[in-house]
Amino acid sequence: MKFRGLGMAIGLVAVLLVARSLRAEEPAHYTFSPAPPGTMTQSAMGYLAGQAMHSQWRAVTSKRVVGKRGKLSFFQSYLSIYAIDNTTYRLKYRSPGNGGPLDTVTKAHGAAMWFPMQTINIVGFGQFIQPTVEQLVVASHEQAADCGGAQVTVFAYNPHTNKVASSATVRNGCQLVARIVRGSGNVPDSIVLVGPYYGPKAAMCCPTKNSATATLRFAAGGWVESPQYFPLTQ
């Protein structure tokens, strides 16, 4: 019986490893409909609905000039998420427009300045919830005063609504860096978060801990952050 149990465990690990390695090929030539606004800055492919033929998704970041002051340009950033349809990626989600993480950049009252100043970065795709089905991790930062605020957003596809939405959002003052840690065997991927930690009474100038590290993972039907340094909503 012990050998049988060991064999089943080895078989499960093999299935999960194969599931991680099997990926349908993307069409050689594809287009976006509608095209990302402005100039494309990043594009990454993943499998939000599972790894099967004709199941590719693409996350695209782009930016467009909304104003100028002398030699200084102000940009509106965008996050666009597309699903493949034959050889065309069709838009399923865009921020701003469908919610966060990005706000609309607007002109300041009485000055040729546009805020907030934004950056956005595609961290990558990971299998955090179940094998073969991926989620998208995006890090963003917006600043209008002092050091601004940072956010890491995990996007997931809901097959019941056929929509992409935020599954988890982690926020922090000033800075928050994310990286994906790959799991192995039956251990799913996880996200490592690094940034300054602010206690309940800490001012933005003076974090309680200059550099804190936490791990975000999906367990028992929900997202869990450990230690709980950064505010998490899901």
Domain boundaries, the chain: 22-233
C-alpha–C-alpha distance, residues 170 and 154, integer Å? 9
Radius of gyration of the chain (CA): 20
Burial of 164 (0-12, 13-18, 19+ CB in 10 A): buried
The whole-number pLDDT of residue 7 equals 47
Mean residue pLDDT of the chain comes to 91
Are the C-beta atoms of 123 and 180 separated by less than 8 Å?
A: yes
The rounded percent of the chain whose pLDDT value lies above 90 is 81
> What SS3 state is found at 13?
helix
pLDDT of 45 > 50? The answer is yes
Q: Considering only CA atoms, which of 179, 200, 201, 198 is closest in space to residue 189?
A: 179
